[in-house]
Amino acid sequence: MEVTYLKTDENGRVNLKDVENAIREDTALISVLFASNESGAIQPIREIGEIAKKHNIPFHSDGAQAIGKAKVDVRELGVDYFTFSAHKFHGPKGVGGLYIKEGAPFVNLIHGGNQMGGKRGGSVYLNGAIAMAEALKHANENLDYMYSEVMALRDELEDFILKNIPDTKSYVDKKYRLPNTLVVSFKGVEGESTLWDLNMHKIYAATGSSCSSERLEGSEVLEALGEDPEIAHTGIIFSLSRFTTKEDIEHVKSVLPKIIKRLRDISMTYAKVKPK
């Protein structure tokens, strides 16, 4: 089985021409993330759905990061399969969903019994399903709130950082970005050390720097967005929810500049004396 990976541009999006050109005689599936949890970038899913339909190729999109943060109507997207996970829209962990368009082919993941109409051995986790449905309802009801209040808080934080902390940069054009996501680079300060300090102040963010993951490998978010490797390890991802308050943002604003200053004092990027 071969996989063709497509490149993304500086906004983290795939190019529609690349999608079309990658299609072969034997292409069995096109799979594209709806929105990225690492960069907030939203892919042109509807347009890719049209390409898939034109060439009669099954099309899957993963919407884990999208639900509750962007409008998702699987009937309009042209997807044959759509996946999501409850814990991403404030439902319980341990349950997710797979939407399968009527008539789209699929094979069981869990075999054994003939439960669930033969489609999934064993009974479905009912509590989880009910909770997920409820969470989904709330998520969709609050989409407007996401796009107004929450987005305003995100913008406030982004503007504050770019204005008040020197040598910072944000990524992904807002018109292609989820309303709750902010990725910022802080020159001279490695991501994991920033997270450590934020953690001390009870602020929990994420970084694209692979130093903080268990395996030490994996993609560097910022490098994928075309940033220089020297800056790539300094990225911080702030991800807001509909529960984020003004006080939360004020807290980050009061603490972040001090953190960056402390870490830049440690970093040789801002050192006065250099090796000869």
Partner 1 sequence: MGRNDLLSGNVWEQYSNKVIERMNNPKFLGEFSEEDAKKRGAKLVVADFGSEACGDAVRLYWLVDPKTDKIIDARFKSFGCGTAIASSDMMTELTIGKTVDEAMKITNLDVEKALRDNPDTPAFPPQKMHCSVMAYDVIIEAAAKYKGEDAEKLRDSEIVCECARVTRGEIEKIIKEHNVKTVQELQKYTDAGKYCKSCVAPGGHEEKSVYLVDIIAEVQEEMKKKLKESAQSEDFENMSFLNKIKAIEKFLDEKIKPMLAMDGGSLELVDIREENGVTNIYERYLGACATCASGMMTLMAIEDELKRHFKTDKIKLHQI
Name the pairing type of β-strands 59-62 and 235-239. Answer: unpaired
One residue of 36, 43, 210, 239 binding partner 1 per CB under 8 A: 210
The catalytic position among 22, 29, 211, 271 is 211
185: exposed, middle or buried (Cβ count in 10 Å: 0-12, 13-18, 19+): buried
Does 189 interact with partner 1 (rule: CB under 8 A)?
yes
Nearer to partner 1, 170 or 267 (CB): 267
Residue type at position 75: R
Rg of the chain over Cα atoms, rounded to whole angstroms, equals 21
Q: Residue 131 in 3-state DSSP?
A: helix
Nearer to partner 1, 36 or 194 (CB): 194
Does 221 interact with partner 1 (rule: CB under 8 A)?
no
- Give the residue among 8, 7, 12, 6 at the shortest CA–CA distance from 170: 12
The DSSP secondary-structure symbol of 149 reads I
Residue type at position 28: A
Does 214 interact with partner 1 (rule: CB under 8 A)?
yes
Active-site residue flag, 149: no
Give one DSSP letter per residue of 170-210, joined into a string.
Answer: E-S-GGGB-TTEEEEEETT--HHHHHHHHHHTT---EE--G
Does 267 interact with partner 1 (rule: CB under 8 A)?
yes
Name the pairing type of β-strands 206-207 and 181-186. Answer: unpaired
Does 215 interact with partner 1 (rule: CB under 8 A)?
yes
Does 274 interact with partner 1 (rule: CB under 8 A)?
yes
How many residues bind to partner 1 according to rule CB under 8 A?
Answer: 35
One residue of 98, 137, 200, 254 binding partner 1 per CB under 8 A: 200
Give Dmax over CA atoms of the chain in angstroms.
Answer: 73
Does 258 interact with partner 1 (rule: CB under 8 A)?
no
Q: Quote the least distance from Cβ 229 to partner 1, whole Å.
A: 4
Q: Quote the least distance from Cβ 108 to partner 1, whole Å.
A: 28
Nearer to partner 1, 1 or 216 (CB): 216
Nearer to partner 1, 168 or 210 (CB): 210
One residue of 15, 148, 199, 254 binding partner 1 per CB under 8 A: 199
Cβ-based neighbours of 228, under 8 Å, separated by 6 or more: none
Does 159 interact with partner 1 (rule: CB under 8 A)?
no
**19-27, 92-100, 144-152, 214-222 -> range binding partner 1 (CB under 8 A):** 214-222
Q: What are 164's two structure tokens?
A: 């008040």
Residue 184 and residue 238 in contact, taking contact as beta carbons nearer than 8 Å: yes
Q: What residue ranges bind partner 1 (CB under 8 A)?
A: 188-193, 196, 199-200, 209-212, 214-217, 228-234, 265-269, 271-276
Provide the annotated active-site residues.
211
